[in-house]
Amino acid sequence: MPKVMPIYGTRPEAIKVAPIVQALQADERFECVVTVTGQHREMLDQVNELFGIEPAHDLDIIQPRQTLNGVFARTLDGLDAVLEQERPDAVVVQGDTTTSTAAAVAAFNRGIRVVHAEAGLRSFDILSPFPEEANRKITGQIAALHLPPTRVSRDNLLREAVRSEDVYVTGNTVIDALMEAVAAQVPFEDERLAELEASGRRVVLVTTHRRENQGDAMRGVGRALARLARAHEDVTFVLPAHRNPVVREAVLPALEGLGNILVTEPLAYGEFTHLLSLSTVVLTDSGGVQEEAPSLGKPVLVMRENTERPEAVTAGTVRLIGTDEERVVAEVSRLLEDELSYRAMSTAVNPYGDGRAAERTVSAIAQLLGVGERLPEFEDGVSA
């Protein structure tokens, strides 16, 4: 029986790998050995608990104010011993985190086949997002099986001379996870969010954490939020604050004393999807939220200069606005004040998946390991 080892360490990875783990565990053809690094700790554990996943190995590498090199080194060193012990036939890594790239390198150096879920995303700027663009390109060089979520991502890989037989479009497993989580309607633990839901007020959901935005850009985002809150007193702006102290020190000072800005601790994934479903507008620099929100018909304003996820930009439900304070204020205000502009962006468009990405992923792994055949690819209706 082939042994497959999914390896992940952050909350975004956990969300997207969880459906794959569930599908592997339900398939009698495989032994699934879940391994986590703990690059994120509490947020990672929350996702595992939500989806009923108990890791077989936990490296617990997290340290205060950890550096990228420190994360990479501890992951590489810790995984080497686990790979020596388990000797899997394949490892599954997801996306573009430091954990995913270090895990891919560790497996490759031991002659273990690497399966790259969410492969082929490209911003074409090696420094933005940082370090994610470099991470996914490095992983793409050593993967044995590339699983792009869309045909746009597939075409990126083919242009990089990846063999077509090693590329298979699955859709994005984040949609699988989102469907399960939204259906659960996990209640809010924070009473302020429960009261907000009951009030029926419009909600702008804000998330920000990107390394390239830290510093002056993020301070500008804080000032923009404060201006928006003063100009739109009938709207509540909800900011689940990232635990990185650098993020909090940049954004939060400008928000003090504003009654319609609700700052919370990071939300467990079930609660976050509940809040996402209630939101009117989403303002973010996140990658995954760009995929989730359009699936729920929520307009997304992305505080970045480029994106490796262009499909929803093409569809019109995502707009790149950068971090300039004036533009952030103008773009959010336009969606709150102009019904036609809002309606143009809020039409539900889902170019990322149909809830069967994990099923397709497992079928591709089965073919790679000689125990099955691939299902038909996901047809997203989007081309490069």
Mean pLDDT of the chain: 94
Residues facing residue 205 across a β-bridge: 238, 282
pLDDT in tens, 135-151: 999 999 999 999 999 99
Closest CA to 300 of 286, 284, 322: 284
- Continuous segment of H or E residues that includes residue 314: helix 311-315
Position 381 confidence tier, pLDDT thresholds 50, 70, 90? low
Gyration radius of the chain over CA positions:
20
Closest CA to 290 of 61, 116, 118, 36: 118
Q: Which residues are catalytic?
A: 96, 118, 132, 209, 211, 242
pLDDT at residue 306 is higher than 90: no
Least confident of 12-21, 61-70, 168-177, 250-259: 61-70
What are the CA-CA distances from residue 186 to residues 50, 115, 134, 269, 274 (Å)? 10, 32, 36, 9, 7
Angstrom distance (rounded) from CA 61 to CA 69: 12
Average pLDDT over residues 350-359: 91
The answer to whether residues 13 and 172 touch, using CB atoms and an 8 Å cutoff, is no
Angstrom distance (rounded) from CA 151 to CA 318: 18
Structure tokens at 371: 């125990």
pLDDT at residue 228 is higher than 70: yes
Closest CA to 165 of 359, 377, 354, 311: 377
For residue 240, give the amino acid letter. P
Position 348 confidence tier, pLDDT thresholds 50, 70, 90? low
Q: Is 236 helix (H, G, I), strand (E, B) or coil?
A: strand
pLDDT at residue 210 is higher than 80: no
Average pLDDT over residues 107-130: 96
Residues facing residue 262 across a β-bridge: 238
The answer to whether residues 93 and 117 touch, using CB atoms and an 8 Å cutoff, is yes
Structure tokens at 133: 């663009």
Q: For the chain, which domains are there?
A: 3-172+353-368 (3.40.50.2000), 190-346 (3.40.50.2000)
pLDDT in tens, 75-96: 999 999 999 999 999 999 999 9
The answer to whether residues 228 and 321 touch, using CB atoms and an 8 Å cutoff, is no
Position 383 confidence tier, pLDDT thresholds 50, 70, 90? very low
Between 131 and 209, whose confidence is greater?
131
How many C-beta atoms surround the C-beta of residue 158 within 10 A?
A: 16
Residues facing residue 156 across a β-bridge: none
Tell me, what's the pLDDT at 382?
55
Closest CA to 78 of 2, 157, 7, 165: 7
The answer to whether residues 241 and 252 touch, using CB atoms and an 8 Å cutoff, is yes
- Continuous segment of H or E residues that includes residue 90: strand 90-94
Q: Is 31 helix (H, G, I), strand (E, B) or coil?
A: strand
Q: Which residues have C-beta within 8 Å of that of residue 130, sequence separation ≥ 6? A: 211, 212
